[in-house]
Structure 1
């Protein structure tokens, strides 16, 4: 029993994500200082309602990946979670000092997919765009899986397909623009690199203590 508790106790750190997400709702509004990062290329990207499915799979996918990392590769779990939390903090600071917005299309069609898009539009304001948190977190799952050794090839392929589908969906359901995606990827790269550097001495100290 105690062994199982020790195995799953680190999962409690995932609760930091919904706590940090409180600030997303606080900042998800516009004022006179809202900026647009939309380009002519963004205007050429089509609206594809079917991509609302991977877009909505983002949160369960992220939690599932963190859970799996925790069970199968604890250093990757801590590294990815730390990078994500740091990335969220930087994202919220950016939203506060440089709020951006996106112009969404009018969804008039019927059917489940269009209804889901309308639901997202109603519950999530068109703000907090740069950098994209969907992209930040999905790309971090790619970084984490790349650090996992001896995982089944099928699992790695599925993670990659899911992550890139979520990233692509942010453009195709018109929740983000290209620069939002670029910002999310760059932020993820920097935070994962920082988390790796910061945690390496801690891991070395832990290994020495266990000797």
Structure 2
């Protein structure tokens, strides 16, 4: 037990994982409060009507869960500083999502009533629809968190010479983003708002805002202590 506490003392970024104790209960409460039978604001864009349903995208859609777990675990145990950036990125976005869903109940009516094909992928999608309400949608956490993990992996020093892993992560990220629309889980609006929030948070965690903050921090530290 002493070794565990000592390890955590030197790896305080692991405490970011405790955010799950806030997110999961809050999200579950939202799913109970805002469902297909409750009053909510319908999210829709004209472009949604031009995107066909494609059940095969259920594969990358579910790979999202493995992608999230693998990405977070890898970064958490290989780069503490990067984990803080990833944690701030994820926690900020998910908290914004929770607040929006709380004060602005929203949902969509894009899911098909019938399916043109009958195969195992359609059956999986039907199970998905049965277990996941078409509410609490924007910004899309599937999209936002996928971008967050990709940005984290792209900035990992451990993967500096492993371009194929970064490329694979990029392809998977793109497929996951597309899956949210082709499975009719999200409107294009949800995807665009996720990109907008991710762009801002990228600037905060990795871009110009992060660089400016680091420069100010370095100026405050005496030269001998840097």
Tell me if both proteins adopt one fold, taking TM over 0.5 as the criterion.
yes
Deviates more, 1:66-75 or 1:50-59: 66-75
Whether contact under 8 Å (2:11, 2:80) holds in the other structure is no
Show structure 1 runs of 5+ residues with no match: none
Q: CA deviation at 1:46?
A: 0.7
Q: Please, what TM-score do these two structures have when normalized by structure 1?
A: 0.85
Aligned pair 1:71/2:81, yes or no?
no
Change (3 A) 1:206 1:96: farther
Indicate whether 1:142 and 2:150 are aligned. yes
Please provide the CA RMSD for this pair: 3.0
Secondary structure at 1:38's aligned position in 2?
Answer: coil
Cα distance, 1:44 vs structure 2: 0.9
Report the more deviating stretch, 109-118 or 61-70.
109-118
Structure 2 unmatched runs, 5+ = none
The change in CA–CA distance for 1:188 and 1:116 in structure 2 (over 3 A counts) is: same
* CA contact 1:136–1:185 (8 Å) conserved in 2: yes
- Summarize the Cα distance change of 1:208–1:126 in structure 2 as closer, same or farther, 3 Å threshold: farther
Moved more, 166-175 or 96-105: 96-105
Residue in 1 aligned with 2:62?
56
Figure out how many residues of one structure are paired with residues of the other and give that number.
210
TM-score normalised by structure 2 residue count: 0.80
Distance apart, 1:19 and its partner CA = 3.3
Deviations, residues 41-78 of structure 1 (Å, cap 9, x unaligned): 11110101010111111122111101111223222211
Per the alignment, do residues 96 and 202 of structure 1 end up closer, same or farther by CA in structure 2, a change over 3 Å counting?
farther
Alignment partner, residue 171 of structure 1: 181
Residue number in structure 2 paired with 1:112: 120
